[in-house]
Structure 1
């Protein structure tokens, strides 16, 4: 398996882009550990939680509070914002995103597009609103592996004008998800009242390594029905996808209406709802 990206540390700047390394090669891969090394270079100390004085970081928000979702070819730019405060005012701040138990043991990460310091705008004499943008590429030649889906964390640091500072290894956690798709087909159409309707479908999700969508097996999916002339969806039953992501169940035809499948998603996979399929009952 080839290594798909590496990182470089440049003195005086955080010259690091999102990276990913297959776990089997992590020990020998160039660039592994460079994320923590670069953060240590910026902070001037260990990247672990640390503080001096009364500097604080609060209200950390990633991507507007929503999960960051990637399809097979998605290159996404999103923002991280937070508030930094100190009685002397804020001098500078930055943030780094990473996947792993802590930044010293991260296997993927991203640094701000702005460089080693993000933009902080004063909000009075003691506070600043700070914002950094990040770009991650989920294409086959990009920097995400399927194993990197799930919980990511924000490492953040803020330094005050009086040299007080605070740094947090996990200032905020957020989800990076594989995009999922869901289909539905109810047949026969039309159908005689009282007869059996078979509702099939399939749940797939993005495979960042193959660049294709693959069936997502053993997942609970709700079959929902909306009676014609109404706007309310009612859950008929919950079934599980088979090993290849396929769905199939039967119901009795009672009245005109639409069927759809709905998947709630997981921490590593986005939610999905199929486009409704209308059935004419005669």
Structure 2
């Protein structure tokens, strides 16, 4: 009994020492008068990435502190399903004579190829940063700003319309919508997506929507529309949170002049 008690006490003591030796961790917090003024990724525009494409995306941070801004470091980007991206070294330039406000710029390299980015990581991403002032103050944020990272989409050469038709005749306008597949480094059919068929009369610069339809499992869509005069068609898909918008090439249509009937 005594031997068991001694062993139990020893185990308890070791456990207690272990607890003491493992320090409690807490997230870093902001301190002092350092302020974040703005964060701009890709000049405020959505980042769209095709299959196997690599892009350098600018990241710009503006901050202020009475003592001046020393650095923005570390800084990174994070997104859905544990997506993370590094931002290169930030270069800071004072914006005022007193040096209290500075703009710091760097770039993030975003690559869709080599299994570096996956389809389920498209969507809303955030900027994680620490701003360090000259007097030791700091500003820390895990989501200092958000931006959109999407898969590209496009209509391919299967988008067609007859070259010519007669007024009153019905023509079939076809299209095929595809989007980037980051997992496979390829473009694949985009199914179950609504696309709009638009028409522009000859001599006009204004497009109007005629009808909408959805893509099938092969990304194909088709609409029958009556011919009212010469002009051009195009397909438009507005995109969503994960995929960019797409616009087909212009599909011109010539319209035969009505036959003349002498005496009428």
Partner-residue secondary structure (3-state), 1:147:
helix
Partner-residue secondary structure (3-state), 2:117:
coil
Give the conservation status (yes or no) of the 8 Å contact 2:119–2:183. Answer: yes
Match of 2:27 in 1: 46
- Residue 210 (structure 1) aligned to one of 184, 197, 204: 184
Matches within 5 A, 1:1-282: 46=27, 50-94=29-73, 95-100=75-80, 107-114=82-89, 118-124=90-96, 125-139=99-113, 141-183=114-156, 184-187=159-162, 189-282=163-256
Partner-residue secondary structure (3-state), 1:280:
strand
Partner-residue secondary structure (3-state), 2:171:
strand
The structural deviation recorded for 1:45 is 6.3
| 1:175-216, Cα deviation, whole Å (9 max, x unpaired) | 1111111142112x3212111110110110011111211111
Partner-residue secondary structure (3-state), 1:64:
helix
| 1:55-75, Cα deviation, whole Å (9 max, x unpaired) | 111221000111111111211
Partner-residue secondary structure (3-state), 2:108:
strand
- Partners of 2:244 and 2:76 lie apart in 1 by 23
TM superposition score normalised by structure 2: 0.82
Q: Flag as ranges the 4+ runs of structure 1 deviating above 4 A.
A: none
Partner-residue secondary structure (3-state), 2:142:
strand
Give the gaps of 5 or more residues in structure 1.
1-43, 101-105
- Partners of 1:78 and 1:161 lie apart in 2 by 28
- Partners of 1:206 and 1:169 lie apart in 2 by 29
Give the conservation status (yes or no) of the 8 Å contact 2:67–2:133. Answer: yes
Larger radius of gyration: 2
| RMSD between superposed Cα atoms in Å | 1.5
